[in-house]
Amino acid sequence: MTFAVCGFSILLGSQSIYSQSLHEKIDAISQKPASPLSAIDADDGIFLRRLSLDLRNAVPTTEERIAFLADADPNKRIAWTERMLTDPLFAERIVTWLDLTLMERRPAAQVQRQPWLDWLRSKVDQATPIDQLSREVLTASWWKKEDRTQQRFFLDRGGDPHLITRDVGRIFLGRDMQCAQCHDHPIVDDYRQRDYHGLLAYFSQSASTEVTYKDAEGKDVKVIIYAEKAPADAAFESVFDKGKPHWMGPALPLVTTAWEPFTPPAHRYQAIASDWITAPVLQLPATSRRERLAKELTDPGYRPFAENWANRLWAMMLGRGIVHPLDMHHAHNPPVDRALLQVLTDGLIECKFDIKTFIREIALSKTYQRGNHIPLDDDRSILQSVDIQPIQGSIAAIEADIQSLKEKARNEKSELKTQTDAMTAIDAEHVRLRGEVAKVEAAWNDAVKKVAEQTAARDKAAKPVADTKAKQTLLAEAAAKLEQAKALTGEDAELAAAIATTVAKRDATVAQLPPLEASLQAAESALQGLVAVEKVASDQMVAAGANLETIKEQVVAKSSELIRLRDQWRRTCNQEILALQVLAKSAKWVEWRKANDTIAQSATALAGAQTQINTLAMQRTEIESGLNTLVTQAAEKTKEKNVSLQSQTTENEKIAAITGELEQLQATQQQLLASKSLLSNPAAIDPSLAELEQSLGQRRTALDQSKATLVQLTTQMTTIESQLVELGKQQQSQSDAMTANQSALQAAQESLADLQQSVESARSTMSECERVLHDRSEIELQVARLKPLSPEQLCWSILRVMGIFDSFIANEMAELDKQSPLPAEPPATEQELQERRKLAVRRAVDKLRGNADAFANLYAGGAGQVDNFFASAEQALFVMNGGSVYSWSGPSGANLTSRVAQNADVEAAVGVMYETLLARKPSPAELAAMVNQLNVPAEQKGARAQEAVWALLSSAEFRFAQ
Amino acid sequence: MDAHYACRTGEHFQARRRFLGSIAGGAIAGALGSVTQGIAAEQAKEKDMRVIVFNLHGGLSQMESWDPKPGAITGGPCRAIPTSVPGIHISELLPHTAKIMHHLCLMRGVNTSEDDHGKGAYMMMTGRRQTAAADYPQLGAVAAKMLTHDEQPLPGHILITPGGSGSRAADAAYLGPKYGSVVLGAGAPPSHSARPDNIPEDAEARRHDLRRKVNEQFLSKRRTSVTEAYTHSYEQALRLMEKRETFDVSKESEQDQARYGKHDFGRHCLLARRLLEAGVSYIQVVHSNYDTHNENFGFHLEQLGEFDQPFATLVNDLSERGLLDQTLVVVLSEFGRTPNINLYYGRDHWSKAWSVVMAGGKVQRGAAYGKTNAQGTEVIEGQVDHGELFHTYLQAVGVDSTSSIAVDGRDVPLADPATSPVWSVLT
């Protein structure tokens, strides 16, 4: 199939046979040599969800998903893109986008929302290109009733010239110059007060005015319109640099435009009557500044306009502008890819600003179809494979580059300053000349007023002269008639008297005339004098007006120079910022690698420390067992010592006993020997003495034995004691070894902990670097952006996926078929059927819009604010307890929840739920949890499925498009 | 045209560096107002500072309150009474407040030059004049952003009104709906803060467990500040539901309820105390209506009769509980009332010379700043306007009002950079 694809015109003529289509050009630029942080293409499920959200504001239905996944056509992405572009919801999506872009959720005060949306719908239906639409919005006329709806852009901004200047700058030019109203922008160097007043000049003569018109019943109705007067401008000065007036005619940023030639007041308005306003009478200016703006802004040669819309449409699809924020195109916020912005801008111009064509091209690009995950495996081998050497090596060069760019920018800025001062001098002369014009115009106005006054005075003086003359003539005629009557009637005293009176009166009148004529004469000559003065003033005014032309050349030349210099300086600043970004990215790579190296190096050290700890622990065990042996030995020795001591004691006791016995025996022996001489038979005691002697001998031997034993024991004791001392020494040395081992172990453990900590911090550095690099990859379009659904997308997606939206559409279809059935014969054409469906979709959208508004109230910024992502507890409470989301999640008809509840195959049911809501299969853990949730008796299934569906709708994954 | 701006120094450059830094670093935080926090905010949060504003709708008469002119031709029938601070007298309509004057700082030289209700209210709440071209966040939104801890389950910006409900995102302008006011109409708890009857407790537990499980799987692949903010908002909502009792003033002792008075305003003040104690950053209590074009004196007798005791009780309680040092108290209106008494014994709109009262935080205690002339028709000393007051409120809770914060990649100053705080009333 062939589509009217922009640049995709191979079939159309030989001229373009070699031309690439826009999506190929996009890919040629942004599909650079793959960075390790590039994602592969999105899978079909993610792609369809993304495409449907971007082109239809809602996720696809289960049926669509199944059909798409089953489609075997290798070109199915192209076919389905086309299918969605022709879906009536695509038009609704563009209407919503245009409404939000142009009106930024401002309340509909002067123009109702529905007619405004219907007007946008008609524009989308007519495929009005965005430049044409911009012109229609900006030139919407107040004097034609039919244009009133499209005046909403101005009317619902209260007709305030500053708000309109700000928003035209933001919305049509991508430049928020509001802070440059009273002085040059304090933060954005690139936005000058001149730029602001150049843009303001297009609107300074337009304002809200109350007028009256007659309604259908002929009743007077009052209404506010945004009317325009003839061009006029005032000088301005910076509040920080008072006394230096400047003057700007209408001019767009980045280009010089010359002001209109001086127009005398008489030619400033044209005589066209409004077709509806009855009072007051408002004149239409001969030249309209707004029409001029529309023409200059949308001139194909003026890039910022096309750049702005290319960037805005890109952001609508990709979630982020190539210049971001979208209204901050300036020197210090360069496009993330200048070549890409250029190609897109050219593409938009080439396809004549057609929204659908341009969006199709974006959708077909591989860049749009990127996956949402970087293939980061757990060991990060992809990142480790990056050759860091050249990156590291380039850092010094980039830094030097930045220094020289800074220097260059400084010099250019200083030249710019010099020329700006020169411009200020020219401005002073210009303002003086403008003052002259104003002065002579005031003098002329004065002269005109005086001429008018004198004309009245002259007319007043002429009246008595004319009256007197008429009286004279009548009296003369009366006298003549009376004479005739007298002649006919003969002498008649009464007639004669009448004639005399008439003649006398005529004569008196004749006498009155000269002074009256004299004063008329005086008035007339005074008038002539004033007319001459007016002529002079008029000539002077024209001359002064022409005199302005003398400075025009200077102003134009100097402002062209300023523009050229600023362009140069802007380029340098752009380069500097881009270099800073490259530097920051390189630094992150290096930081990542350093942390990675730290971890790698630490691995050896960690192992070493661990080995050391193990060795020391082993040593410790050895020392401990040695010590134990020693302790056992010492105990044994001590026991031996005690035994020996016991033996000594025993021997000593023995000796003492023997010694006692010996002494007794010896005493007995002495007594026997002494008594022998006294005995008669001394020999009789000899046996006793001998026995005694024997006993003594025995005792002496025993004593000697014991003494010898004692000596032996003493020697033994000495040995034991010296052995014990030896053992003590050994013990001491072992416990010293133990202490040393302990402190070594502690040191080793501490150094292990240190190492572990440094690894930990290196890990968190790495993950931080990865996060930054990942974010940067998103910005550089290497990976699909995680973009939050808009409040509208969130609401319509829930309504769609729960079958509510489609049932409303079906109802509207039925209603339409009932109201005006399509004729059976001839059968309705495909086009008629499509038109009917479109109508039904629109009626359903209008009926359900209140829900989207409720979401917008909670999820979007206020009126006039850019839609940023915000998460608040109030939003969560609304989803949790607000009623609507939970009740939408409930089983109803054949909706998702019912089907999940009724499916006997619980695993399959869970699969459908995940694929429909999240465009993926459940993980095993999720599957288990969900099966557990749904494995309940039949009567509880509905409620359980509702909880599960609600959980998925309220998950972060549903909240974001990937 | 390359002018030397007053506002082109210090903060602006710093702000710009941050801006460039965030581009250069590609940090996603730079692109998100809701998760961006300045250093200043962190400091203020550490100190746990709070703000309570009493907004006396319609325009309180300074003559019958903070700046009486007894005996003057414009003075009206009310007398002035001495206060706990020797030398400072206020209207006899505020006898309880007179006893706590040692906590208060009267700003008697307010000149805002705006006699329209809507415009005056806008100026007093945002510190800027309303222009079509820009919308600014209210004090409550700025305070909520700068003072509320991420872990605080209760909303940071609360509005207690005689009626109504819901939340007002517009109050936060570019700071985003997260900082918009949550309205406690007639003191009722926030919308949707109770679990609906059709969701039993076990179902509630199950659905949230499943939600967390799904998030876990998703976040294991890609975790960013936005995904964090989103999942966090649900946990915060659940904690708010747990804390729903905080909004139930009947949990306060019978004695305290009696001290504050059982009328609406008394209950609202007691509710405000509960919320301050629970750590809510900003509460605005609305008391209506002071727009007394007719019978000014009778109405003020009645209205201030209701205001006086609960207000004084609250300030005293805060002081006794050691909270006053970390709580800024403000009493304001959209403007004051004419010194001239009209034919209907009323006073009309008057913004050239009126009063605002502050207490607590870093504000001087027991002070009267600024002076009007004998008839109260003009400020003769210490003149301040809405912009200076706005700066002063922020400084009083430790927020550097001259700093900027980044919102979606652009820097926005917290308060009007063309004006500055009234340093002499700050400690």
Q: What is the pLDDT of residues B70-81, one digit of tens each?
A: 999 999 999 999
Please answer yes or no on whether A775 and B178 come within 8 Å at the CB atom: no
Residue A45 burial (CB count, 10 A):
17
The per-residue pLDDT of chain B, averaged, comes to: 87
Q: Which of B328, B344, B345, B339 is nearest to B392 (CA)?
A: B328
| Bridge partner list, A100 | none
Interface of A with B in 916-945 (CB under 8 A): 918, 923, 925-926, 929-930, 933, 943-944
Mean pLDDT of B64-93: 95
A35 contacts chain B (CB < 8 A): no
Query: Quick check: B14 pLDDT over 50?
Result: no
State how beta strands B282-287 and B157-161 pair.
Answer: parallel
Flag residues of chain A having pLDDT under 50: 1-17
CB A783 within 8 Å of CB A369: no
CA distance A952 to A940: 19
pTM: 0.81
Give the position of tokens 């998703």. Answer: B218
pLDDT classification of B194: cutoffs 50, 70, 90: very high
pLDDT classification of B47: cutoffs 50, 70, 90: confident
A885 contacts chain B (CB < 8 A): no
Interface of A with B in 246-265 (CB under 8 A): 246
| Bridge partner list, A277 | A213
Please answer yes or no on whether B174 and A866 come within 8 Å at the CB atom: yes
Please answer yes or no on whether B174 and A865 come within 8 Å at the CB atom: yes
Residue A238, CA atoms < 13 Å, CB-side half-sphere: 20
| Nearest CB neighbour to B28, from listed A775, A918, A952 | A775
| Nearest CB neighbour to B230, from listed A181, A861, A956 | A956
Q: What angle do CA A523, A527, A531 make, to 5 degrees?
A: 175
CA distance A350 to A7: 8
Size of interface A-B (CB pairs under 8 A): 253
**Tell me: the pLDDT tens digits for B131-167?**
766 789 999 999 999 999 877 888 899 999 988 777 7
State how beta strands A960-961 and A220-228 pair.
Answer: unpaired
A49 contacts chain B (CB < 8 A): no
Q: Find, in chain A, the residue whose alpha carbon is nearest to that of B235.
A: A873
Chain B contact set for A929 (CB, 8 A): 209-210, 213
Give, rounded to a whole angstrom, the gap between the first and last alpha carbons of chain B: 39
Query: A18 Cβ partners below 8 Å, 6+ apart?
Result: none
Omega before residue A325 within 30° of 0, cis: yes
CB A777 within 8 Å of CB A35: yes
CA distance A955 to chain B (A): 6
| Nearest CB neighbour to B203, from listed A417, A868, A943 | A943
Q: What does the pLDDT read at residue A770?
A: 85
Which two structure tokens, joined as six digits, stand for A249? 């005619």
3-state SS assignment for residue B342 = coil
Chain A contact set for B237 (CB, 8 A): 873-874, 876-877, 880
CA distance A391 to A590: 8
Q: What does the pLDDT read at residue A6?
A: 45
Chain B contact set for A956 (CB, 8 A): 214-215, 218-219, 227, 230-231
CA distance A830 to A518: 90
| DSSP category for residue A530 | H
| Bridge partner list, B412 | B405
Q: What does the pLDDT read at residue B132?
A: 67
3-state SS assignment for residue A286 = coil
Please answer yes or no on whether B169 and A877 come within 8 Å at the CB atom: no
Q: What does the pLDDT read at residue B39?
A: 55
| Nearest CB neighbour to A872, from listed B5, B233, B417 | B233
pLDDT classification of B23: cutoffs 50, 70, 90: very low
**Tell me: the pLDDT tens digits for B113-126?**
999 998 999 999 99
ipTM for the assembly: 0.78
Query: Quick check: B37 pLDDT over 50?
Result: no
In A247-335 the beta strands, taken as DSSP E runs, fall at 269-270, 277-279, 284-285
A175, A872, A897, A941: best to mutate for the B interface, most B CBs within 10 A? A872
Q: What does the pLDDT read at residue B19?
A: 36
CA distance B202 to B216: 21
DSSP H or E stretch at residue A934 = helix A924-934
Please answer yes or no on whether A577 and B31 come within 8 Å at the CB atom: no
DSSP annotation string for A770-789:
HHHHHHHHHHTTSS---EEP
Q: What angle do CA A901, A904, A905 make, to 5 degrees?
A: 105
A591, A772, A868: best to mutate for the B interface, most B CBs within 10 A? A868
What single-letter amino acid sits at A333?
A: N
Which two structure tokens, joined as six digits, stand for A442? 């005031």
| Nearest CB neighbour to A193, from listed B1, B7, B195 | B1
At A335, give phi and psi (nearest 5°): -60, 145
Q: What does the pLDDT read at residue A41?
A: 84
Query: B281 Cβ partners below 8 Å, 6+ apart?
Result: B49, B50, B51, B143, B144, B147, B148, B152, B156, B157
B222, B227, B247: best to mutate for the A interface, most A CBs within 10 A? B222
Please answer yes or no on whether B1 and A246 come within 8 Å at the CB atom: yes
Query: A776 Cβ partners below 8 Å, 6+ apart?
Result: A37, A581, A585, A588, B26
Q: Which of B188, B71, B163, B59 is nearest to B112 (CA)?
A: B59
CA distance A759 to A757: 5
**Tell me: the pLDDT tens digits for A131-189?**
999 999 999 988 888 999 999 999 999 999 999 999 999 999 999 988 788 777 767 78
CA distance B139 to chain A (A): 16
